[in-house]
Structure 1
Amino acid sequence: MKRRFIYLVLVLLITLSGCTSEKIIDESKKENIAIPVGGADGEILERSENISDIVVELYGIDDATTIILNNTAIIGLKIAYDQKLTDETIKIIEEKVISYDDSLTEVIVTDKDKIFSEISDIVYDLLQGSSYDSLVDEINKIKNKIK
């Protein structure tokens, strides 16, 4: 009986000590995947992010993503659960965005999830170092989908 108890305790100790080992990760070996965007691309991203921040402050809007193409801001929205995107809301968004950035002459707004994701993907690609010029065709396609 004592032998069984000793074997049981021994097995438990081995199991517990094996499960509690820590993995030490060398911080110097971690890969930095963020690449700073410079020049005009960085300015466009900054303007886009500021516009998204302004739009999210409005009541009933949970999330916003923006990309700027020439003098047009294309904005994807996630509307709050109990809200709807109305013409009045779109008008308010247009006024706020144009008053913030007077170089914009057109604001296009959508609440379609797929387009929101497409805009977010483009912004992500730009943040990862993709050239703005290489994404112009995709941005135009999104613009045409909304209109």
Structure 2
Amino acid sequence: MSVADRLKELGIDLPPPAAAVANYVPFMRSGNLLHIAGQLSNDASGGVKGTVGVDVDIDQAVHAAKLSGINLLAQMNAALEGDLDRVTRIVKLGGFVQAGPDFIEIPKVINGCSDLMVEVFGEVGRHARSAVGVYKLPLGFAVEVDAIVEVR
């Protein structure tokens, strides 16, 4: 099954890739590695903003990480000219959660993105990962995830 068919089966419509909001590019390819800049927990309705463990609960935060993952997929799709079947491995995800002082379930939050990559790409979607709690994220979003992807 193609990745496009798998996305359709999962009910995921990729949004237009987000433009950079500062002096950087959304993705950069070097050889067979595609580096994707951090993607926020944003969507057409405004996404998930706030501090996890304070005004964002765990279920909302997991959904936020999934939104970041969908935005990563949109960037991959743009970088690969609409052919996500050129992804040969999700190498690494870097997850950042805007977390309250007592919130420690950071890995559980980033599973929202990790699980999505495995759902979409199967075994190719299994990856190394970091999951970090931070004081603030850009524009007040709850989650940001970046990626390194092997492509052909």
Task: Confirm or deny a common fold (TM above 0.5).
Answer: no
Larger proportion of strand? 2
- Structure 1 or 2, whichever has the larger Rg, is 1
Larger proportion of helix? 1
- Give the number of the structure with larger relative contact order, counting CA–CA contacts within 8 Å between residues 6 or more apart: 2
